Chains A and B, each alone.
Chain A
Amino acid sequence: MKILNSSLTSLIHQRLQYLNKRSEVLTGNIARADIPGARRQEIRPFREIAKQKIVKFSNQDPVNSEQYTLDLSAKDIKTEGSEIEREMEIMEMNHNTLNHQALLDIVSNFYKLYKYAISRSG
């Protein structure tokens, strides 16, 4: 199952986790928009987080290994000085969903390749 251990698939899964977390943060902004003095929150850029986090590989249980886990902590979410604008948050949410869909398309294509490889080898 080395094929599932590629750094590219691992990166895609981490990026998916990042986008999931970002959707939570953006939804939080929308929900808090009417709280007096509430400030916008944003997750740190994926590039920064991915550089710092150590990707762990395990050969024993590749499917359930820790390689797909991106440990996002409260430190990765920063509070900005700007006030929350609902329309901007919705736009960011749409952007986030599009990115998520694009990544899922890539994952789907990976699965198709695996299926093809398995069917050819059988």
Chain B
Amino acid sequence: MPIPLGPVKGMSMMNTQISKGIQTNGSLLKGLYVATSGMIAQHQRTLAITQNIGNAQSRSNKPGGQPYRRKIVIFQDFYDSSKDVNLVKVKRIAYDTTPPKKVYSPGDPGADKDGFVLESNVQAVGEMADMRDASRSHEAATKAFEKIIQMLQSTIGVLKNA
């Protein structure tokens, strides 16, 4: 499954739900956009890590073929002029240049004439640590989102009771 780059679906959904009816020049709404972009970026990172873990044991299927290479998600902040706010997106997916592991497995269809087959350069333990880090970043963005919602609700509550 390809990992989407650049503008993402979630943002357009936010655009539909929020900015169509309400002006986005308020800082709280901008904060919601920033938090959402952070959550989506972390989601994409999680997707890449999941792919890495899933392919940790994968090997080349023919002699001399290349196995799966570990994907690394690189983030970038950018200015969104339509919303007048700095957001975060996935800049690109890089591939780990660490050489693949060489495993002796003479019966494997991908083995060369000496019986060696190339295996993915993914380290499952490192990926699990990365996954936890991505999860914590996502959680932080979610908390920020919740706090902004709380501030909005409080403001609306005061105006409602005024």
CB contact between B137 and one of A33, A36, A107 (< 8 Å): that residue: A33
A-B pairs, top 3 by smallest CB distance, nearest first, are A31-B38, A20-B27, A24-B31
Q: Interface SS of chain A: helix, strand, loop or mixed?
A: helix
Supplied contacts A24-B85, A27-B141, A33-B137, 14 more A-B pairs, CB within 8 Å: A17-B27, A20-B26, A23-B148, A27-B34, A31-B41, A31-B88, A33-B140, A93-B143, A97-B151, A100-B151, A104-B157, A108-B158, A111-B162, A115-B162
Q: Would you mind naming 30 contact pairs between A and B with Cβ atoms under 8 Å apart?
A: A16-B155, A19-B151, A23-B28, A23-B31, A24-B30, A24-B34, A27-B31, A27-B34, A27-B38, A28-B34, A28-B77, A31-B37, A31-B38, A31-B41, A31-B77, A31-B141, A33-B137, A33-B140, A34-B134, A34-B137, A35-B77, A35-B88, A38-B77, A72-B27, A89-B140, A90-B143, A93-B143, A94-B147, A97-B151, A101-B154
- CB pair B140–A90 under 8 Å, yes or no, is yes
- CB pair A21–B27 under 8 Å, yes or no, is yes
Q: Interface SS of chain B: helix, strand, loop or mixed?
A: helix
CB contact between B158 and one of A17, A27, A38, A104 (< 8 Å): that residue: A104
A-B CB pair tally, cutoff 8 Å: 102
Chain B interface (Cβ within 8 Å of chain A)? 26-28, 30-31, 34-35, 37-38, 41-42, 45, 74-77, 85-88, 133-134, 136-137, 140-141, 143-145, 147-148, 150-151, 154-155, 157-158, 161-162
